[in-house]
């Protein structure tokens, strides 16, 4: 879930711990975008309800940075993205692969995201 910060006093804390990636307006509903966070690629997804999810752009099955090009959907009420390479499906909340297509279970790292004054931020070092 995306946390929206509206209290101006939180801005200095945000600047110290969070990395600004882009204006929220740059994202399109159910269309992934890739962003560079240090030397890592993050896939960003704006979901129909307004939530934003950030996961690894690196597909752990193919080794390619393609998750942002995946197809957004849902499984059992959970938002998901299907890799465009071998079609494994990942839960966008936990990063867990929910359809391994016969392979071992792998997962994507997930970053906490926040918005402030129309910009999207990701927690530095916050991947889990």
Number of folded domains that form the chain: 1
- Write out the residue range of the structural domain in which residue 65 sits: 21-122
Mean pLDDT of 32-44: 94
Residue 94: partners with Cβ closer than 8 Å, 6 or more residues away = 107, 110
Determine, yes or no, domain membership for 35. Answer: yes
Share of the chain above pLDDT 90, in %: 79
In 3D space, the residue among 66, 68, 71, 72 whose CA is nearest the CA of residue 49 turns out to be 72
Residue 72 β-bridge partners? 81
Determine, yes or no, domain membership for 5. Answer: no
Determine, yes or no, domain membership for 9. Answer: no
Grade residue 13 by pLDDT with cuts at 50, 70 and 90.
low
Q: Which residue has the higher pLDDT, 79 or 16?
A: 79
In 3D space, the residue among 98, 107, 63, 58 whose CA is nearest the CA of residue 80 turns out to be 98
Length of the chain: 128
Mean pLDDT of 20-35: 96
pLDDT in tens, 99-123: 999 999 999 999 999 999 999 999 9
* CATH number where 44 lies: 2.102.10.10
Q: Element (H or E) spanning 9, and its range?
A: none
Determine, yes or no, domain membership for 113. Answer: yes
What pLDDT is attached to residue 118? 95
pTM value is 0.86
Give the sign of the dihedral formed by CA 49, CA 50, CA 51, CA 55.
Answer: positive
Residue 32 predicted with pLDDT over 90: yes
What pLDDT is attached to residue 38? 86
Whether 88 contacts 101, CB under 8 Å: yes
């Amino acid at each position: 879930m995306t946390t929206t910060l509206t209290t101006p006093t939180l801005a200095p804390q945000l600047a110290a711990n969070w990395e600004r990636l882009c204006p929220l307006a740059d994202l399109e509903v159910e269309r992934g975008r890739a962003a560079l966070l240090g030397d890592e690629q993050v896939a960003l997804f704006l979901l129909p309800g307004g939530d934003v999810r950030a996961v690894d752009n690196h597909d752990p099955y193919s080794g390619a940075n393609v998750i942002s090009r995946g197809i957004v959907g849902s499984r059992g009420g959970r938002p998901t993205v299907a890799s465009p390479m071998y079609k494994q499906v990942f839960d966008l909340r936990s990063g867990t692969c929910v359809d391994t297509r016969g392979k071992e279970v792998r997962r994507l790292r997930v970053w906490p995201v926040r918005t402030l004054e129309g910009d999207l931020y990701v927690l530095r070092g916050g991947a889990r």
